[in-house]
Amino acid sequence: MSEALRFPVLAVSSDSFIVFKQLSELSTCTRFALENGYYRGLILLDSAGIFWVVKDAAPVHAPSFLDRLLGRRISIQLDIGPPQQASLSSIIKKVCEVIDNDPDDVYDQFVTHEELKEKLRGCRSAEELIRVSDTLGWEDMEQDSAEEGKQVNGSNMVAGYFQAFPPPFAAK
């Protein structure tokens, strides 16, 4: 069934969401994720707007002692339920619930939780939802800054910072 998935894919669990850009990313994980049932009930929304629910996952082969010792990612086989037509609003609601329960503030790296949820609620297609989920609003922030005549990239941000806050040892 995974051959029918159109990547990138948004994966939503009870406590997180992530975008997988290709099958090899989705079909490997840590031993910890596998043993703790991360994949059971995982919702996969593909770029075509179709979603699947993962029933379970199993390792392709038993991890070796060295794999376990080094925490290597292992190949897994997913048992995926039948494809279903996605209700975009229900997927957005689930992603927003994850953001509301974000204990580590992972999802407000670039914009606030409320701004990110607003961007997600404004999505009109699965592709747009996947893009916003992947960038956590950063792409839109870059676009907004470009429209204002600013560039948001590493070197310009650093240069701008040092213009605004010169170090005490700066030559005058």
Query: How many other β-carbons are positioned within 10 Å of the β-carbon of residue 22?
Result: 11
Model confidence over 35-57: pLDDT tens digits? 999 999 999 999 999 999 999 99
Model confidence over 80-120: pLDDT tens digits? 999 998 799 999 999 999 999 987 778 888 888 999 999 99
pTM for the whole thing? 0.77
- Look at residues 111, 95, 99 and name the one whose alpha carbon lies nearest to residue 144: 111
CA atoms within 13 A on the CB side of 116: 26
Q: How far is CA 63 from CA 34, 58, 68, 69, 92, in A?
A: 11, 11, 6, 10, 35
CA atoms within 13 A on the CB side of 155: 0
How, if at all, do strands 17-20 and 28-29 pair? unpaired
Residue 26 has pLDDT above 90, yes or no: yes
Residue 157's pLDDT band, with cuts at 50, 70 and 90, is very low
Q: Cα separation of 151 and 87, whole Å?
A: 36
Residue 158 has pLDDT above 80, yes or no: no
